[in-house]
């Protein structure tokens, strides 16, 4: 399978300050890839360069093997882009607007009507084709924005904060739509909302201070910080002082008569140590579970690295 997006040593400078420095990554298959980072980290600069809104200071971007700097128009044909504020014309009907965007995408005249119809059907807005965009709800306006991003069937769709400003029900619908689009397209989704990334993304690229600090799967991101505590249940638990004698244990908190949280340090084989101690002293250990780090902890650590 050919590479959909290749970013090579990408750097950009505003005046004397570098916004991003030596950004490199590749995406080669459909699915949702999260572009994560705090405000001002360099996400928008990276995304705007990829989509051709901004010309980079250094480095190269290849879309479906096409160098964006050398063949910008051909490269941009491979991309669909929905900025954070959807570029909608409120006095157009949905069909008028999508017909206009189809023309902007150089879709052949004979194929425009079919392309508009397919885009409306895929985004669930066919029944609003004759409605003025200004009379749509926020959720449906966002659907129109997504429709213009996929109308020319690009290999890659770039979405910037696609659920921003939507109510809870609209967010659920938008997520469902994004997942459906990702079955056929590579979706690069920018966000600083961790829960959004966790629910939608297969892989993550995280930028902080203008540099990539993490690039791997969602599972690896969740497990980036090693668990520092375990939850244990014992029928005959010992006193806290006895648990503190176990190698690696740094702190103990009893949550009930039989349940406790045990903190540990380093790469200690803590579960094995607790099991061994329980067997030796007849504590009758019933359950033991490592506590996974929450996404916020991972984000905080990577942001400060």
pLDDT score for 150: 96
Which of the four pLDDT bands, split at 50, 70 and 90, describes residue 221? confident
Same structural domain, 132 and 21:
yes
Percentage of the chain with pLDDT > 90?
Answer: 68
Residue with more model confidence, 273 or 294 = 273
Same structural domain, 169 and 70:
yes
Same structural domain, 99 and 188:
yes
pLDDT score for 1: 56
Q: Of the residues 222, 257, 275, which one is the last residue of a structural domain?
A: 222
pLDDT score for 296: 65
pLDDT score for 86: 87
Q: Of the residues 171, 203, 222, which one is the last residue of a structural domain?
A: 222
**Has residue 294 got a pLDDT over 60?**
no
Question: What is the per-residue burial (b if ≥16 Cβ within 10 Å, else e) of 86-114?
Answer: bebeeebbbbbbbbebbeebebeeeebee
Task: Give the chain's domain count.
Answer: 2
Same structural domain, 143 and 238:
no
Q: What is the dihedral of CA 113, 115, 119, 124, to 10 degrees?
A: 40
Same structural domain, 145 and 279:
no
Tell me the mean pLDDT in the region 87-91.
95
Q: What is the CATH number of the domain that holds 269?
A: 3.30.70.1560
pLDDT score for 108: 94
pLDDT score for 15: 86
Q: What is the CATH number of the domain that holds 105?
A: 3.40.50.300
Average pLDDT, the chain: 90
Same structural domain, 176 and 120:
yes
pLDDT score for 225: 61
Token pair recorded at residue 141 = 């306006």
Residue with more model confidence, 47 or 38 = 47
Same structural domain, 41 and 156:
yes
d(CA 37, CA 161): 12
- Which structural domain, as residue segments, surrounds residue 122? 5-222
Same structural domain, 92 and 203:
yes
User: pLDDT tens-digit profile of 145-162?
Assistant: 999 999 999 999 999 988
Q: What is the pTM of this model?
A: 0.76
Same structural domain, 17 and 102:
yes
Same structural domain, 259 and 200:
no
Which of the four pLDDT bands, split at 50, 70 and 90, describes residue 220? confident
Which of the four pLDDT bands, split at 50, 70 and 90, describes residue 142? very high
Which of the four pLDDT bands, split at 50, 70 and 90, describes residue 227? low
Question: 101: closest CA among 144, 51, 164?
Answer: 144
Q: Of the residues 190, 222, 254, which one is the last residue of a structural domain?
A: 222
User: pLDDT tens-digit profile of 228-286?
Assistant: 788 999 999 999 999 999 998 999 999 999 999 999 886 668 889 999 999 999 999 99
Same structural domain, 102 and 172:
yes
Same structural domain, 52 and 147:
yes
**How far is residue 45 CA from its own chain's centroid?**
16
């Amino acid at each position: 399978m050919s590479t959909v997006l290749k970013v090579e040593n990408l750097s950009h400078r505003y005046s004397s300050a570098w916004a991003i420095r030596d950004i490199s990554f590749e995406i080669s298959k459909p699915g949702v890839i999260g572009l994560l980072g705090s405000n001002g980290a360099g996400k928008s600069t990276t995304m705007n360069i990829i989509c051709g809104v901004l010309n980079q200071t250094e480095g190269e971007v290849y879309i479906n093997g096409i160098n964006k700097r050398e063949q910008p128009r051909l490269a941009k044909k491979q991309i669909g882009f929905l900025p954070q504020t959807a570029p909608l014309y409120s006095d157009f009907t949905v069909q008028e607007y999508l017909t206009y965007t189809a023309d902007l995408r150089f879709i052949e005249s004979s194929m425009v009507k079919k392309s508009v119809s397919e885009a409306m059907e895929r985004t669930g807005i066919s029944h609003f084709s004759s409605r003025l965009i200004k009379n749509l709800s926020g959720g449906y306006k966002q659907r129109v924005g997504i429709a213009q991003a996929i109308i020319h069937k690009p290999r890659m769709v770039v979405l910037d904060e696609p659920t921003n400003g939507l109510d809870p029900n609209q967010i659920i619908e938008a997520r469902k739509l994004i997942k459906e689009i990702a079955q056929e397209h590579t979706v690069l989704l920018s966000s600083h909302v961790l829960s959004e990334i966790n629910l939608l993304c297969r892989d993550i690229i995280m930028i902080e201070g203008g540099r990539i600090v993490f690039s791997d799967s969602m599972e690896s991101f969740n497990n980036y910080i090693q668990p520092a505590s375990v939850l244990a249940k014992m029928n005959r638990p010992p006193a806290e002082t006895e648990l503190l004698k176990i190698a690696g244990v740094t702190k103990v908190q009893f949550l009930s008569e039989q349940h406790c949280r045990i903190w540990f340090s380093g790469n200690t084989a803590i579960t094995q140590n607790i099991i061994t101690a329980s067997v030796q002293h007849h504590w009758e250990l019933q359950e033991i579970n490592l506590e996974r780090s929450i996404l916020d902890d991972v984000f905080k650590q990577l942001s400060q690295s």
